[in-house]
Every structure is written in structure tokens, then in C-alpha cells.
Amino acid sequence: MPAPNKRSRSYRRVFKKTPGGKNKIHYEKRKPSKAICGGCGAVLPGTANKRAFKMQNMAKTAKRPSRPYGGVLCSKCMRELQIERARQND
């Protein structure tokens, strides 16, 4: 029987094969949800989908795109925002 804190479905059950040839259940936290665009709500491409302890060891360039509003807005919304700002300044 698993420990009481492992019985909930907030942990995913992963079957790992041991060197002895047996299958054991390992309990892992689930992946976080994908990053979404602040403008249109679409899933952001080029952003990492890892838990915090894995993200802190990743390079900054691996976590999100290196362009204005990278990791916040999708490229379409970012382009629209820049065009809108350029038109306001005229």
C-alpha cells in the first residue's frame, strides 16, 4: 500500500523497470500546464514546460524566446502590439 500522501491523483504513477527485472511504481508530481499568450490565450511555442526545480537549472534562452514580450505574448499578438504602438506615435 502506498503512503497516504501518495494515494491522491496529484501524483502520477510511473512504472520503472528495476535492474532485477521487476516493475515498480514511482510517484512523480505532474507537469505544469503549458504557457499561454496574454493576448489571445493560444499556447506559446518555444517555452519550456517543466517544474520549477528543473527550470532553475536551465539557461534563460531555453526557457523562452529571446524577442520582445517573449514568453508573454505569441508572435502574432506581439507584432500587432508593435504596429499599434508605431501608429500611435505618428
Q: What is the pLDDT of residues 5-34, one digit of tens each?
A: 888 999 999 999 999 999 999 999 999 999
pTM listed for this prediction? 0.69
**Amino acid letter for position 45:** P
Is the same domain home to 37 and 80?
yes
Domains: count for the chain? 2
The answer to whether the beta carbons of residues 83 and 75 sit under 8 Å apart is no
Query: Residue 77 and residue 29: Cα distance in Å, rounded?
Result: 32
- Structure confidence by residue, pLDDT tens digits, 41-90: 999 999 999 999 999 999 999 999 999 999 999 999 999 999 999 999 87
Beta-ladder partners of 11: 29
Q: Return d(Cα 48, Cα 34) in angstroms, integer.
A: 8
Euclidean distance between CA atoms 11 and 30, whole angstroms: 6
Within this chain, do residues 50 and 74 fall inside the same structural domain, yes or no? Answer: yes
Which segments of the chain does DSSP mark as H helices, in order?
A: 52-55, 60-63, 75-89
**Are 46 and 82 within one domain?**
yes
